[in-house]
Amino acid sequence: MNKNNSRRSFLSKAALASALMPLASMQVFGEGYQEAVERTPKPSAPADLKITDIKCGYIRGSLFVKIYTNQDIYGVGEGVDAVPGTYHLVKNFGMRLRGKSPLNVHRLFEDIRKGGFFQGAQAGMYIAVLSAIETALWDLAGKALNIPVYQLLGGKFRDKIRVYCDTALYQRNLPTAKDFADAALNSKKMGFNAIKFDLDQANDPNKYDAYNWTASPMELQRMYDQIAASREAVGPNIDICVDMHGRYDAVTAQAVAKRLEPLNLMWLEEPIPAENVEAYKLITESTSTPICAGENHYLAYGFRRMLEIGAVDIVMPDLQKAGGLGEGQRIANLANLYYTPFAPHMVASFLGAMASAHVCASVPNFLILEWQSYFHTNPMFKEIVTYDGEWVKDSYITLSEKPGIGVDINETAMKKYAVPGVPFFE
């Protein structure tokens, strides 16, 4: 046989095989998701799945949204912090979404975000509410396609999500160094291998005055003594994080970070306000204590400058207000370009915790996720959600394999905790 003809025949067959090859084998970004939409059995074709309504309820600092469709499939999501007084904003977003397919999550997110350039779509309440809706869309899409959210996000790097326990040892009660040590030991006994404490104390009797952001020498000593007692109590193998809630100036931040260096912190969190990332860079460069920030930044745009100049060592977006799950993944991937760990802030319910866990599973640079001690002490948090698995064990959340987020809300139980005077899922 002529070798040229043989080669030509082989190439022709290869080309034909390529043409017939399943699209998934040569897909570009986004095509795999579309294929899943098309091939997954559903009550009716994806084109027939439409959003019919969005309702919401408020409990303390959280907004819960529920997106309904014409196929009796619904999605739930949660927003935190920047959500008070946003009922009508939720309903406004609902009008923009009604009649559209919930499976186009990124497109719907962009439609609302770009449609609000002059309505505050850069940060704050607008984005916090959009975070809840975007999360509910992922939950809905996962249920419709019968796959967990992490799969929609591109798969997982890990099955379990490590968490640290926020001890909630709030400084307003003037806790002593012994109180810190006891709280650290209690968290360790509960199985946590990472814990967090707050150091800011507005009513510290040693403050210069109520408005001065510079800590006095006695305040600095108090901070050191509290964390030193915690470290001594739990030993060197437990990670300790420290939060200052952005309530000090750069001078104090540098002093605290330097003084705590021997205690080997996992990080010092938001020692100064969030707005000035150049000031963060000065602090970060002055110490070996890792500096962490990001819970008060919004969208991936809010993290760009911070990462470009190396302002922090660790980023901690709050996925219930920074833009949602897709935006959380974008922030993590952006941070990964700078070899910066991703450690989301999380002050939501277990719905928010599991939603965040799906993102944490989907990115390579995940470090740790926040876990709240109120899950163990306040029965409300068990009542308002429905989940038949174990919440946390030995400092890890096991990622849900259920369709969507895997956690539902209990509207009946939620109602007794609803914010008075605000419509509740109406």
Tokens of 330: 């974008």
Look at residue 13 and tell me whether its pLDDT is greater than 90.
no
- Model pLDDT for residues 77-112, shown as the tens digit of each residue: 999 999 999 999 999 999 999 999 999 999 999 999
Q: Would you state the pLDDT for residue 4?
A: 45
Q: Would you state the pLDDT for residue 11?
A: 38
Q: Would you state the pLDDT for residue 61?
A: 86
Q: Would you state the pLDDT for residue 25?
A: 38
Q: Would you state the pLDDT for residue 60?
A: 86
Distance CA 125, CA 80 (A): 9
- Model pLDDT for residues 369-423, shown as the tens digit of each residue: 999 999 999 999 999 999 999 999 999 999 999 999 999 999 999 999 999 999 9
Backbone angles phi, psi at 125, to 5 degrees: -60, -40
3-state secondary structure of 85: coil
Confidence tier at 168 by pLDDT (50, 70, 90): confident
Is the Cβ–Cβ distance between 371 and 165 less than 8 Å?
A: yes
Least confident of 78-82, 140-144, 199-203, 341-345: 199-203
Residue 65 identity (one-letter amino acid): V
Q: Would you state the pLDDT for residue 28?
A: 45
Give the start-end residues of each E strand in 201-282.
239-243, 267-269
DSSP label at residue 342: B
3-state secondary structure of 78: strand
**Nearest residue to 216 (alpha-carbon basis) of 201, 227, 230, 231:** 201
The tokens 């609000």 sit on which residue?
Answer: 116
Average pLDDT of the residues in 201-212: 92
Look at residue 24 and tell me whether its pLDDT is greater than 50.
no
Distance CA 181, CA 176 (A): 9
- Model pLDDT for residues 27-78, shown as the tens digit of each residue: 444 566 666 666 665 555 666 899 999 999 999 889 999 999 999 999 999 9
- Model pLDDT for residues 171-188, shown as the tens digit of each residue: 777 899 999 999 999 999
Look at residue 331 and tell me whether its pLDDT is greater than 50.
yes
Look at residue 3 and tell me whether its pLDDT is greater than 50.
no
Say if residue 127 is exposed, middle or buried (CB neighbours under 10 Å; 0-12, 13-18, 19+): buried
- Model pLDDT for residues 264-311, shown as the tens digit of each residue: 999 999 999 999 999 999 999 999 999 999 999 999 999 999 999 999
Mean pLDDT of the chain: 91
Q: Would you state the pLDDT for residue 170?
A: 77
Q: Which domains occur in the chain, in start order? A: 28-146+406-426 (3.30.390.10), 152-402 (3.20.20.120)
